[in-house]
Structure 1
Amino acid sequence: MKLNHECVRKCLLVLENNIGVANAVDSKKLINALDYDKDESFYALQKLSEGGFIVGGPTVLYPVGGAQKHYAPITDITWKGHEYLDAIRDDKIWKKAKSATSSLKSVSLSVMKDVASHFLTEYIKGNLM
Structure 2
Amino acid sequence: MKLNHECVRKCLLVLEENIGVTNAVDSNKLINTLDYDKDEAFYALQKLSEEGFIIGGPTVLYTIGEAQKHCAPITGITWKGHEYLDTIRDDKIWKKAKSATSSLKSVSLSVMKDVASHFLTEYIKGNLM
**TM-score interval w.r.t. the shorter chain?**
over 0.9
Letter in 1 for 2:57: G
Task: Structure 2 unaligned segments of length 5 or more: list them.
Answer: none
Please give the secondary structure, in 2, of the residue aligned with 1:59. strand
How many angstroms apart in 2 are the aligned matches of 1:60 and 1:108? Answer: 22
TM-score, L = length of structure 1: 0.98
Partner of 2:63: helix, strand, or coil? coil
Distance 1:98 1:65 in 2: 39
- Give runs of aligned pairs for residues 73-112 of structure 1, distance below 5 A: 73-112=73-112
For these two proteins, the number of residue pairs brought into alignment is 129
Match of 1:61 in 2: 61
Give the aligned CA root-mean-square deviation in angstroms: 0.7
**Residues 92-126 of structure 1 deviation map (CA, whole Å, 9 limit, x = unaligned):** 00000000000111100000000000100100110
How much has 1:63 moved relative to structure 2?
Answer: 2.3
2:40 equivalent in structure 1? 40
Structure 1: which 5+ runs fail to align? none
CA distance in 1, matches of 2:48, 2:41: 11
CA distance in 2, matches of 1:40, 1:109: 16
Cα distance in 2 for partners of 1:54, 1:40 equals: 17
Compute the displacement of 1:66 (Å). 1.1
Question: Would you identify which runs of 4 or more consecutive aligned residues in structure 1 move more than 2 Å?
Answer: none
What percentage of residue pairs aligned between the two structures are identical? 90
Letter in 1 for 2:55: V
Give the aligned partner of residue 7 of structure 2.
7
How high is the TM-score relative to the length of structure 2?
0.98
Structure 2: distance between partners of 1:38 and 1:88: 23
Deviations 1:44-101 (A, max 9, x none): 0000000100000000001245111101000000011000000000000000000000
Q: Distance in 1 between matches of 2:121 and 2:62?
A: 44
1:17-42 superposed Cα distances (whole Å, 9 cap, x missing partner): 00001100000000000000000000
